Amino acid sequence: MIDFKLETAEIISNATNIPKEELEEYIEIPKDASNGEYAFPCFSLAKVLKKAPPIIANELKEKITTLPETIEKIEIVGGYINFYISKELLASEVLKEIEIKKENYGVQKIGEGKTILVEYSSPNIAKPFHIGHLRNTLIGKALYNIYKTLGYNTIGINHLGDYGTQFGKMIEGYKRWGNEYNLEENPIEKLTEIYVRINNLCKEDESVLEECRNNFKKLEDGDEYCVKLWQQFRDISLKEFDRIYDLLGVHFDSVKGEAFYADKTDEVIDILDKTGKLVESEGARIIDLEDKGMTPCIICKSDGSTIYAIRDLAAILYRVRTYDFDKCLYVVAYEQNLHFKQVFEVAKLLGIPEKCQAGLEHVAYGMVHLKSGKMSTREGTVVKVQELLEEAINRTNSIIEEKNQDLTKQEKEEIAEKVGIGAIIFNNLSGSRIKDTIFDWDTVLNFNGETGPYVQYTYVRTNSILKRVDNLPKFEEIDLTKLMDETSYNIIKLLYSYQKIIQNAARKNEPSIISRYLIDLSHAFSLFYNENKIIGEEKEIENARIYLTYVTNVVLKSASNLLGIQMPEKM
């Protein structure tokens, strides 16, 4: 498919001798469609050429004596050069491409031969899977799908929080009160109760906290009783987590927790030792990062036990050797910004390849808070994902029962699951990932406005139109001149931009770019639908509009799948 943006950059490049790849970064899509498909702001050249942008624009226009067939005309508006693409050629390119690729439209080969690891979800075992983990899981899954679509060898990793002092606390709590709890029923809730209870006792009695630390040291040393309890907590947790992952359609290529790397930390310590940068400080062993403007990275505590920084370093070493990755993304809340800066800096001392050093990237996201404040497992103030998903499905089912009596019970259940979970996913991915969010049931399950259910409803509307068609027209049967009206052409431009949208979402590690695109495409189709008769027009117009409905249907489903949203066939 023709890259019209790059063609535009090449025209400017020929007039300025500036590389087209450099110019492409500056080219914009005008907000007002009457200003063409692309605009080059000459403000970007004003400093170098020491001229006013309108003067530069006019001088460049004079140098552009011939235009390729892709461009109909260029115009100057202030300091901008506006480019008007051949509408029929653009429509031909995008509609033909979708007919050929169908549901694979958007799939690209940019990442061929490169490996990207995406670490996401990573919940703590023996604790409820709450909405903070949900956001992490959904962002990571979307990025996994986006990179895979771009052709990267993509590996999804669930780095479980299954090690650390908290398990010393869990073991101590279970020692004291385990016989009071039946872990056969609601095991995660019971383990949470034990954790909250022991945590409160630790606040009251320092000696209890010391016992908890001793338990973790025993766990590290392979104490049979502690290891057996830890394994029981882990098995219970994974069983509960898998229920949630199944509902969300999430899978991982690797599920390895911190514990997997526990026996690999000695090698990391040996390597750091040999650099001469591993030093003692107040009994602990640290890497001094003052010259990098950071506090020290603690490698071992004063009692000899390890902390998660050393396990993260061991994981990096393991992943370099196992995958030889080009990028390793860590989808973790921004609260861990300093931790990852420290770990990535220390990782340079492990002798890993430069491409792997450069590929370590923390994909930070904002925290999820309750209206009442920050969530805390210790305080027992969390919103559990299982309950959230079940509530979303139940509320959706009630709406379907009320509004649609023609569906079977099974159809209603399937639609309720897709729409309810789709609403949750879209709500989590509709805004910038870095922003904090306040959890509010009414907002999360609001099906009106720019929401997941709105996108799904638009898709179902395209489906209902296509079901009325006996034979879908082929691309070569379409008269493209019948799609040059504003509402039709707006859809075509959006369909054309889909591949670049996916690239942009990957470049910024920002799934909300896909969410915004889905809303824009849904709005565009709604306008087209409201202003045009699709079935019942003269044959050439009908064929063109049916075909435009078909390609919109394909891309709505494809883009939604990138976010992990399933499309219902009815609604």
Give the CA-trace dihedral at 448, 452, 457, 458, to 10 degrees.
110
Please tell me which residue in 5, 20, 133, 159 is annotated as part of the active site. 133
Report the relative pairing of strands 71-77 and 80-85 from DSSP bridges.
antiparallel
The whole-angstrom separation of Cα 522 and Cα 420 is: 19
Residue 396: closest CA among 365, 380, 418: 418
**Within its chain, how far is the Cα of 346 from the centroid?**
27
- Neighbouring residues of 381: CB distance < 8 A, sequence distance ≥ 6: 370, 372, 373, 375
362 catalytic? Reply is: no
Sheet holding 373-374, edge to edge: 373-374, 368-370, 437-439
For residues 225 and 189, is the Cβ–Cβ distance under 8 A? no
Please tell me which residue in 5, 20, 127, 327 is annotated as part of the active site. 127
369 catalytic? Reply is: no
130 catalytic? Reply is: yes
Q: Is 35 exposed, middle or buried (0-12, 13-18, 19+ CB in 10 A)?
A: middle
Buried b (16+ CB within 10 A) or exposed e, 134-158: bbbbbbbbbbbbbbbbbebbbbbbb
Residue 500: closest CA among 76, 116, 108: 108
For residues 174 and 230, is the Cβ–Cβ distance under 8 A? no
**Within its chain, how far is the Cα of 218 from the centroid?**
38
Amino acid at 41: P
Amino acid at 538: E
For residues 257 and 161, is the Cβ–Cβ distance under 8 A? yes
Q: Is 69 exposed, middle or buried (0-12, 13-18, 19+ CB in 10 A)?
A: exposed
Please tell me which residue in 5, 87, 101, 130 is annotated as part of the active site. 130
Indicate which residues carry an active-site annotation: 127, 130, 133
